[in-house]
Chains A and B, each alone.
Chain A
Amino acid sequence: MATYNTNEFRSGLKFILDNDPYSIIENEFVKPGKGQAFSRVKIRNLKTGRVIEKTFKSGESVEAADVLETTLQYLYNDGEFWHFMDPQSFEQYAASEAAVADAIKWIKEQDDCNVTLWNGNPLIVEAPNFVTLRITDTDPGLKGDTSGGGGKPATLETGAVIRVPLFVQIDEVVKVDTRSGEYVSRA
């Protein structure tokens, strides 16, 4: 079992606490002049996304989390699981709804996604920062309006709804920033 000592704590380090994998966001070394040293960390639970603060005695060890970040190709959804494939090894992985979370709104078949694997199981699926998706439904824009001010709702092929400028029409393909959920341009 690999372990990390508190002196190896730095942001991004992943370890197990109470059976859940955590990633360190911030680590502060605390040492009263005449007292014992400890580490105060802000950590994110990689399963729930919840951020908590913990305090460790300096010199204590924690169990390293077998967490790997990799790029997988999205294949299909069988109604219960979202299936991904490693394009090199062709190995397939099934991600739960909790793991894909918000990424569901943006990914379509054959998209490459960043996937965090914990003990070989998908823990977090991240949509690419930018995706290009076809518009399946939106109100026809006003003739002659090219300013883009205001905008209107549009439904994408994945089912997500975003705001687009008035000149964008059904069946057009648009570029979307998945982090903000905002329209970027026509693709």
Chain B
Amino acid sequence: MLQKRASLLNEIRRFFAHRDVLEVETPVVSSSANPDAAIDPMQSGFRLPGSHRPEPIYLQTSPEFSMKRLLAAGSGSIFQICHAFRNGECGRLHNPEFTLLEWYRIDYDHFQLMDEVDALLMQLLPGCAAAQRLRYADLFLIHAGLNLFTATDAQLQERAEAAGVVIPESVQSEWLVEILFELCVGPWLQQQQGVIVYDFPAAQASLSQLSALDPRVAERFEYFFEGVELANGFHELTDSGEQRRRFGAENLKRQRAGDEQLPLDEHFLQALEHGLPDCSGVALGVDRLLMLRCGVEHIREVLAFPFERA
């Protein structure tokens, strides 16, 4: 397994070297964190020399902000293979510390980046063909039987109950959409090889631009292989005002859920103000890719030391 991992990393580096994408390294710890309410960072403390009071620091949940700072500073297209850390995530497809491949392409829209993801995976996964490309709303209509844009909360709730969801007291339509996608579209995705889902609902835009043609959807895509969520990509949001507003909204969600608000990455916001070039970026789970390459069922089988024994 160690050899298989090493050869996978080599192949990835060769792929980007051929395409003149620069490999970079950025800090893993920071005094700020991504406030995304669905992602929980791990926290540690740092003491300055001589000080006894540690200041909170956070392990990166992805290298996104640092890499965008490099892009804003004129790095050109870049990639990175690094470890990312997410609290509260442990299971068949999750290790709290995992390996991400993240890359950014200047002047690419998300469709051009999808082409590149396809090219990479066709090279790395034996027998993998170009992925089918389908819109989120179309899949939702086919498999959940509901129109994403017009379904009422009551309809979503009824459909979710029929699918065996125990509806929580404070239910949000956003959560129902996510879970219905997983429960209704997930089984179909498991029967397919590569599928790229694009035009995510605007509520799940995360750090992507909203579509200029249809503001109900975001220029975000995900790559699934046999149902495994392998990569998540964006036509990146470059508007610093909108970025600050979304961060605020996420911190508000955290507050409502009783979680602590997180310090915003002001360096990143400044970089956006200075100007992030038009670009698209994608993050790909290297451990999951290795699982698919080796045909194993649990992420622990591709790690030298899984979290329980780390």
Q: Which residues of A approach B to under 8 Å, CB–CB?
A: 7, 17, 28-38, 52-58, 60
Contact = CB atoms under 8 A, between A and B. Distances in A.
Contact of A36 (B91, B175, B206, B229): B175
Interface in B84-105: 88-92, 94
Interface in B1-45: 36, 38-39
B270 interface: no
Given A34-B204, A36-B38, A54-B165, A29 B175 contact: no
Interface in B194-231: 204, 206, 222, 229
Given A36-B175, A37-B89, A57-B175, A29 B164 contact: no
Contacts of A55: 163-166, 179, 183
A28 B92 contact: yes
Given A29-B91, A35-B204, A37-B88, A60 B166 contact: yes
A29 B178 contact: no
B295 interface: no
B178 A32 contact: yes
Contacts of A34: 36, 38-39, 204, 206, 232
Contacts of A58: 88
A28 B164 contact: no
A52 B232 CA distance: 32
Nearest to B39: A34
A38 B94 CA distance: 13
A44 B135 CA distance: 37
B168 interface: yes
Given A56-B168, A60-B166, 15 more contacts: A17-B166, A29-B89, A31-B91, A32-B182, A33-B222, A33-B283, A34-B38, A35-B178, A52-B164, A54-B164, A54-B165, A55-B165, A55-B166, A57-B179, A58-B88
A36 B164 contact: no
Interface residues of B, number: 25
B116 to A, nearest CB: 19
Contacts of B182: 30, 32, 38
A92 to B, nearest CB: 37
A13 B183 CA distance: 23
Interface of B: 36, 38-39, 88-92, 94, 163-166, 168, 175, 178-179, 182-183, 204, 206, 222, 229, 232, 283
Contacts of B90: 29
Best-buried of A29, A56, A57 by chain B (most CB within 10 Å): A57
Residue from A7, A17, A53, A56 whose CB has the most chain B CB atoms within 10 Å? A56
B38 A35 contact: yes
13 contacts: A28-B92, A29-B90, A30-B182, A33-B222, A33-B283, A34-B232, A36-B178, A38-B179, A52-B164, A53-B164, A54-B165, A54-B166, A57-B168
A15 to B, nearest CB: 11
B166 A29 contact: no
Which 9 A-B pairs rank lowest in CB-CB distance, beginning with the nearest?
Answer: A29-B91, A35-B178, A55-B165, A57-B168, A34-B206, A54-B164, A33-B232, A56-B166, A36-B38
A57 B94 CA distance: 17
Which residue of A33, A36, A58 has the most chain B CB atoms within 10 A of its CB atom?
A33
Contacts of B175: 36, 57
A13 B199 CA distance: 40
B309 to A, nearest CB: 18
Nearest to A34: B206
Interface centre among A34, A52, A53 (most CB of B within 10 A): A34
Contacts of B204: 34-35
B94 A31 contact: yes
A126 B211 CA distance: 61
B85 to A, nearest CB: 14
Nearest to B90: A29
Nearest to B200: A34
Nearest to B258: A59
A37 B40 CA distance: 11
Contacts of B229: 32-33
Contacts of A60: 166, 168
Nearest to A55: B165
B227 to A, nearest CB: 11
A7 B164 CA distance: 19
A38 B232 CA distance: 19
B185 to A, nearest CB: 11
